[in-house]
Amino acid sequence: MSSSVIPQSKSATKQATLRRFSRFKPALWLAPFALFFYLFQLAPMIWVLCNSFIYDESLSLENYVEILDSAFMRQAFSNSIWLGFWSSLIGLAIATLLVSSLRRVNSVLRDGVIAFTNMSSNFAGVPLSFAFIIILGTNGALTLLLKQYGLLGEFDLYGKWGLLAIYIYFQIPLATLLLYPAFDALSDDWQAAAALLGAKTWQYWLKIALPVLSPALLGTFIILIANAIGAYASVYALTSGNYNLITIRIASLVSGDLFLEPNLAAAISVLVMVLLALITVINQWLISKSYLGRKQDAQA
Protein backbone atom coordinates (compact mmCIF):
# COMPACT_ATOMS: atom_id res chain seq x y z
CA MET A 1 0.00 0.00 0.00
CA SER A 2 2.82 2.39 0.86
CA SER A 3 4.59 1.63 -2.40
CA SER A 4 1.50 2.70 -4.37
CA VAL A 5 1.18 5.94 -2.44
CA ILE A 6 4.77 7.03 -3.18
CA PRO A 7 4.45 6.94 -6.98
CA GLN A 8 1.14 8.77 -6.73
CA SER A 9 2.68 11.49 -4.55
CA LYS A 10 5.61 11.81 -6.96
CA SER A 11 3.21 12.09 -9.88
CA ALA A 12 1.16 14.75 -8.08
CA THR A 13 4.31 16.71 -7.28
CA LYS A 14 5.45 16.49 -10.90
CA GLN A 15 2.07 17.67 -12.15
CA ALA A 16 2.09 20.58 -9.70
CA THR A 17 5.57 21.55 -10.88
CA LEU A 18 4.45 21.41 -14.51
CA ARG A 19 1.43 23.56 -13.72
CA ARG A 20 3.61 26.16 -12.01
CA PHE A 21 6.00 26.10 -14.96
CA SER A 22 3.17 26.49 -17.48
CA ARG A 23 1.93 29.47 -15.47
CA PHE A 24 5.28 31.23 -15.94
CA LYS A 25 5.81 30.03 -19.50
CA PRO A 26 4.26 33.18 -21.11
CA ALA A 27 6.59 35.30 -18.99
CA LEU A 28 9.58 33.33 -20.28
CA TRP A 29 8.49 33.93 -23.87
CA LEU A 30 8.10 37.62 -23.02
CA ALA A 31 11.55 37.92 -21.45
CA PRO A 32 13.50 38.53 -24.72
CA PHE A 33 11.08 41.26 -25.75
CA ALA A 34 11.25 42.82 -22.26
CA LEU A 35 15.05 42.83 -22.42
CA PHE A 36 15.01 44.35 -25.90
CA PHE A 37 12.45 46.98 -24.79
CA TYR A 38 14.58 47.89 -21.78
CA LEU A 39 17.86 48.14 -23.68
CA PHE A 40 16.56 50.17 -26.61
CA GLN A 41 13.62 52.07 -25.10
CA LEU A 42 13.69 52.46 -21.33
CA ALA A 43 17.46 52.59 -20.77
CA PRO A 44 18.08 55.43 -23.29
CA MET A 45 15.11 57.38 -21.92
CA ILE A 46 16.36 56.98 -18.35
CA TRP A 47 19.86 58.03 -19.42
CA VAL A 48 18.53 61.10 -21.23
CA LEU A 49 16.33 62.09 -18.29
CA CYS A 50 19.11 61.73 -15.71
CA ASN A 51 21.74 63.53 -17.79
CA SER A 52 19.41 66.41 -18.58
CA PHE A 53 19.78 67.52 -14.94
CA ILE A 54 23.59 67.46 -14.98
CA TYR A 55 25.34 70.80 -15.51
CA ASP A 56 29.08 71.19 -14.83
CA GLU A 57 29.09 67.76 -13.17
CA SER A 58 26.41 68.72 -10.64
CA LEU A 59 22.65 68.40 -10.44
CA SER A 60 20.96 71.52 -11.76
CA LEU A 61 18.10 72.88 -13.86
CA GLU A 62 20.50 75.13 -15.74
CA ASN A 63 20.15 73.18 -18.99
CA TYR A 64 16.41 73.83 -19.06
CA VAL A 65 16.90 77.47 -18.10
CA GLU A 66 19.39 77.89 -20.93
CA ILE A 67 16.96 76.38 -23.43
CA LEU A 68 14.03 78.55 -22.32
CA ASP A 69 16.18 81.70 -22.29
CA SER A 70 17.64 81.08 -25.75
CA ALA A 71 15.72 82.67 -28.62
CA PHE A 72 17.62 80.35 -30.98
CA MET A 73 16.32 77.26 -29.18
CA ARG A 74 12.79 78.63 -29.01
CA GLN A 75 12.95 79.24 -32.76
CA ALA A 76 13.99 75.61 -33.28
CA PHE A 77 10.96 74.40 -31.33
CA SER A 78 8.72 76.83 -33.17
CA ASN A 79 9.97 75.72 -36.60
CA SER A 80 9.62 72.02 -35.73
CA ILE A 81 6.10 72.46 -34.35
CA TRP A 82 5.07 74.56 -37.36
CA LEU A 83 6.35 72.01 -39.86
CA GLY A 84 4.96 69.10 -37.84
CA PHE A 85 1.48 70.58 -37.48
CA TRP A 86 0.91 71.79 -41.04
CA SER A 87 2.55 68.83 -42.77
CA SER A 88 0.49 66.45 -40.61
CA LEU A 89 -2.74 68.35 -41.23
CA ILE A 90 -2.26 68.63 -45.00
CA GLY A 91 -0.91 65.09 -45.32
CA LEU A 92 -3.84 63.72 -43.30
CA ALA A 93 -6.38 65.58 -45.46
CA ILE A 94 -4.82 64.30 -48.71
CA ALA A 95 -4.54 60.76 -47.36
CA THR A 96 -8.18 60.80 -46.24
CA LEU A 97 -9.31 61.76 -49.74
CA LEU A 98 -7.02 59.13 -51.25
CA VAL A 99 -8.23 56.29 -49.02
CA SER A 100 -11.86 57.32 -49.56
CA SER A 101 -11.30 57.15 -53.32
CA LEU A 102 -9.54 53.78 -53.09
CA ARG A 103 -12.66 52.23 -51.62
CA ARG A 104 -14.49 53.08 -54.85
CA VAL A 105 -12.07 51.50 -57.34
CA ASN A 106 -11.51 47.86 -58.31
CA SER A 107 -9.25 45.63 -56.26
CA VAL A 108 -6.42 45.47 -58.83
CA LEU A 109 -5.95 49.22 -58.93
CA ARG A 110 -6.41 49.50 -55.17
CA ASP A 111 -3.77 46.86 -54.44
CA GLY A 112 -1.38 48.56 -56.85
CA VAL A 113 -1.82 51.95 -55.17
CA ILE A 114 -1.36 50.43 -51.71
CA ALA A 115 1.80 48.64 -52.85
CA PHE A 116 3.16 51.88 -54.33
CA THR A 117 2.24 53.74 -51.13
CA ASN A 118 4.03 51.15 -49.03
CA MET A 119 7.13 51.52 -51.21
CA SER A 120 7.06 55.33 -51.16
CA SER A 121 6.69 55.38 -47.35
CA ASN A 122 10.22 53.93 -47.19
CA PHE A 123 11.59 56.48 -49.64
CA ALA A 124 13.00 59.04 -47.22
CA GLY A 125 16.23 60.50 -45.96
CA VAL A 126 19.05 61.36 -48.36
CA PRO A 127 17.47 59.77 -51.49
CA LEU A 128 14.29 61.78 -50.95
CA SER A 129 16.24 65.03 -50.57
CA PHE A 130 18.27 64.28 -53.69
CA ALA A 131 15.08 63.60 -55.67
CA PHE A 132 13.54 66.89 -54.56
CA ILE A 133 16.73 68.78 -55.45
CA ILE A 134 16.58 67.32 -58.98
CA ILE A 135 12.88 68.14 -59.37
CA LEU A 136 12.30 71.32 -57.32
CA GLY A 137 15.79 72.65 -56.64
CA THR A 138 17.06 76.00 -57.90
CA ASN A 139 17.76 74.44 -61.29
CA GLY A 140 15.34 71.57 -60.92
CA ALA A 141 13.42 70.24 -63.91
CA LEU A 142 9.97 71.16 -62.62
CA THR A 143 11.17 74.49 -61.23
CA LEU A 144 12.57 75.63 -64.59
CA LEU A 145 9.47 74.41 -66.42
CA LEU A 146 7.05 76.26 -64.13
CA LYS A 147 9.14 79.42 -64.18
CA GLN A 148 9.24 79.30 -67.98
CA TYR A 149 5.44 79.54 -68.07
CA GLY A 150 5.28 82.03 -65.21
CA LEU A 151 3.56 79.59 -62.85
CA LEU A 152 6.20 79.68 -60.13
CA GLY A 153 7.55 82.72 -58.34
CA GLU A 154 10.29 82.82 -55.75
CA PHE A 155 10.14 79.26 -54.46
CA ASP A 156 13.02 78.19 -52.20
CA LEU A 157 13.30 74.46 -51.70
CA TYR A 158 15.84 75.02 -48.95
CA GLY A 159 13.57 77.26 -46.89
CA LYS A 160 10.39 76.86 -44.88
CA TRP A 161 8.03 76.15 -47.79
CA GLY A 162 10.39 73.74 -49.48
CA LEU A 163 10.78 71.76 -46.27
CA LEU A 164 7.01 71.77 -45.85
CA ALA A 165 6.67 70.20 -49.33
CA ILE A 166 9.12 67.43 -48.41
CA TYR A 167 7.41 66.80 -45.07
CA ILE A 168 4.00 66.57 -46.73
CA TYR A 169 5.41 64.11 -49.26
CA PHE A 170 6.59 61.60 -46.66
CA GLN A 171 3.53 62.14 -44.45
CA ILE A 172 0.99 61.12 -47.10
CA PRO A 173 2.08 57.45 -47.53
CA LEU A 174 2.27 56.91 -43.77
CA ALA A 175 -1.16 58.45 -43.21
CA THR A 176 -2.61 56.37 -46.05
CA LEU A 177 -1.32 53.10 -44.60
CA LEU A 178 -2.61 54.01 -41.14
CA LEU A 179 -6.05 55.15 -42.31
CA TYR A 180 -6.75 52.41 -44.85
CA PRO A 181 -7.92 49.78 -42.30
CA ALA A 182 -10.02 52.38 -40.44
CA PHE A 183 -12.24 52.97 -43.47
CA ASP A 184 -13.45 49.37 -43.21
CA ALA A 185 -15.63 50.62 -40.33
CA LEU A 186 -17.72 52.57 -42.86
CA SER A 187 -20.54 50.74 -44.61
CA ASP A 188 -21.77 51.71 -48.06
CA ASP A 189 -25.29 51.09 -46.80
CA TRP A 190 -24.95 54.04 -44.42
CA GLN A 191 -24.41 56.49 -47.26
CA ALA A 192 -27.26 54.94 -49.25
CA ALA A 193 -29.56 55.18 -46.24
CA ALA A 194 -28.53 58.78 -45.62
CA ALA A 195 -29.23 59.61 -49.27
CA LEU A 196 -32.69 58.03 -49.04
CA LEU A 197 -33.41 60.23 -46.03
CA GLY A 198 -32.45 63.31 -48.04
CA ALA A 199 -28.91 63.86 -46.77
CA LYS A 200 -26.36 65.30 -49.15
CA THR A 201 -22.86 63.87 -49.54
CA TRP A 202 -21.24 66.54 -47.37
CA GLN A 203 -23.87 65.97 -44.68
CA TYR A 204 -23.13 62.24 -44.68
CA TRP A 205 -19.42 62.90 -44.22
CA LEU A 206 -19.95 65.59 -41.58
CA LYS A 207 -22.61 63.82 -39.52
CA ILE A 208 -21.80 60.12 -39.99
CA ALA A 209 -18.45 59.26 -41.58
CA LEU A 210 -16.14 61.73 -39.84
CA PRO A 211 -17.51 61.05 -36.32
CA VAL A 212 -16.96 57.31 -36.90
CA LEU A 213 -13.46 57.93 -38.26
CA SER A 214 -12.51 60.60 -35.72
CA PRO A 215 -10.56 58.27 -33.36
CA ALA A 216 -8.49 56.95 -36.26
CA LEU A 217 -8.00 60.44 -37.70
CA LEU A 218 -6.88 61.88 -34.37
CA GLY A 219 -4.58 58.95 -33.67
CA THR A 220 -3.03 59.20 -37.12
CA PHE A 221 -2.61 62.94 -36.71
CA ILE A 222 -0.61 62.43 -33.50
CA ILE A 223 1.61 59.81 -35.15
CA LEU A 224 2.25 62.15 -38.08
CA ILE A 225 3.22 65.01 -35.75
CA ALA A 226 5.65 62.75 -33.90
CA ASN A 227 7.03 61.52 -37.23
CA ALA A 228 7.55 65.09 -38.46
CA ILE A 229 9.10 66.45 -35.27
CA GLY A 230 11.51 63.53 -35.16
CA ALA A 231 12.55 63.77 -38.83
CA TYR A 232 16.24 64.46 -39.30
CA ALA A 233 17.94 62.82 -42.29
CA SER A 234 15.91 64.49 -45.05
CA VAL A 235 16.16 68.02 -43.71
CA TYR A 236 19.85 67.64 -42.87
CA ALA A 237 20.69 66.29 -46.33
CA LEU A 238 18.73 69.12 -47.93
CA THR A 239 19.98 72.05 -45.86
CA SER A 240 23.28 70.67 -44.49
CA GLY A 241 22.02 71.52 -41.01
CA ASN A 242 21.56 75.22 -41.77
CA TYR A 243 17.83 75.28 -41.04
CA ASN A 244 17.00 75.63 -37.36
CA LEU A 245 15.03 72.56 -36.28
CA ILE A 246 15.07 70.83 -32.95
CA THR A 247 16.51 67.58 -34.35
CA ILE A 248 19.29 69.55 -36.03
CA ARG A 249 20.10 71.24 -32.72
CA ILE A 250 20.23 67.93 -30.85
CA ALA A 251 22.52 66.41 -33.48
CA SER A 252 24.84 69.43 -33.46
CA LEU A 253 25.17 69.22 -29.66
CA VAL A 254 26.16 65.54 -29.64
CA SER A 255 28.22 65.33 -32.84
CA GLY A 256 29.37 68.87 -33.58
CA ASP A 257 32.95 69.73 -34.44
CA LEU A 258 33.26 72.66 -32.02
CA PHE A 259 30.92 72.29 -29.06
CA LEU A 260 29.79 69.02 -27.55
CA GLU A 261 27.05 69.42 -24.96
CA PRO A 262 25.30 66.06 -24.57
CA ASN A 263 23.60 67.13 -21.34
CA LEU A 264 22.01 70.12 -23.05
CA ALA A 265 20.93 67.83 -25.91
CA ALA A 266 19.41 65.49 -23.32
CA ALA A 267 17.40 68.38 -21.85
CA ILE A 268 16.11 69.30 -25.32
CA SER A 269 15.14 65.66 -25.88
CA VAL A 270 13.23 65.59 -22.60
CA LEU A 271 11.29 68.69 -23.62
CA VAL A 272 10.45 67.05 -26.95
CA MET A 273 9.22 63.95 -25.11
CA VAL A 274 7.11 66.11 -22.79
CA LEU A 275 5.66 67.94 -25.80
CA LEU A 276 4.74 64.69 -27.55
CA ALA A 277 3.33 63.25 -24.32
CA LEU A 278 1.16 66.33 -23.90
CA ILE A 279 -0.11 66.04 -27.47
CA THR A 280 -0.83 62.33 -26.89
CA VAL A 281 -2.80 63.07 -23.71
CA ILE A 282 -4.89 65.67 -25.54
CA ASN A 283 -5.45 63.17 -28.34
CA GLN A 284 -6.62 60.48 -25.91
CA TRP A 285 -8.96 62.96 -24.26
CA LEU A 286 -10.48 63.92 -27.61
CA ILE A 287 -10.87 60.25 -28.55
CA SER A 288 -12.61 59.48 -25.26
CA LYS A 289 -14.94 62.45 -25.81
CA SER A 290 -15.66 61.16 -29.30
CA TYR A 291 -16.50 57.67 -28.02
CA LEU A 292 -18.64 59.14 -25.22
CA GLY A 293 -20.54 61.35 -27.66
CA ARG A 294 -21.23 58.43 -30.00
CA LYS A 295 -22.38 56.28 -27.08
CA GLN A 296 -24.78 58.97 -25.90
CA ASP A 297 -26.12 59.39 -29.43
CA ALA A 298 -26.66 55.64 -29.71
CA GLN A 299 -28.50 55.55 -26.37
CA ALA A 300 -30.67 58.50 -27.40
Name the more confident of 280 and 94: 94
Contact criterion met (CB below 8 Å) for 64 and 267: yes
Q: What is the pLDDT of residues 181-210, one digit of tens each?
A: 888 888 778 888 888 888 888 888 888 888
Instruction: Please tell me the predicted confidence (pLDDT) of residue 155.
Output: 75
CATH architecture for segment(s) 71-298: Orthogonal Bundle (1.10)
Residue type, 161: W
| Domain residue ranges in the chain | 71-298
Contact criterion met (CB below 8 Å) for 217 and 175: no
**10 pLDDT tier (thresholds 50, 70, 90):** low
Instruction: Please tell me the predicted confidence (pLDDT) of residue 1.
Output: 46
Instruction: Please tell me the predicted confidence (pLDDT) of residue 86.
Output: 95
Nearest to 183 by CA among 144, 214, 227, 152: 214
Does the structure show a pLDDT above 90 at 91? yes
List Cα–Cα distances, 250 to 58, 191, 217, 239, 259, in angstroms: 21, 49, 30, 16, 12
| Alpha-helical runs (H) found in 156-261 | 160-179, 188-196, 201-204, 210-229, 233-239, 246-255
Instruction: Please tell me the predicted confidence (pLDDT) of residue 258.
Output: 63
Give the rounded percent of residues in the chain with a pLDDT score beyond 70: 87
Residue type, 198: G
Average pLDDT in the chain: 83
Indicate the length of the chain as a whole number. 300
Instruction: Please tell me the predicted confidence (pLDDT) of residue 2.
Output: 47
Q: What is the pLDDT of residues 124-182, one digit of tens each?
A: 788 888 888 898 888 888 888 888 887 777 778 888 888 999 999 989 999 998 888 88
Q: What is the pLDDT of residues 271-291, one digit of tens each?
A: 999 988 888 888 777 777 666
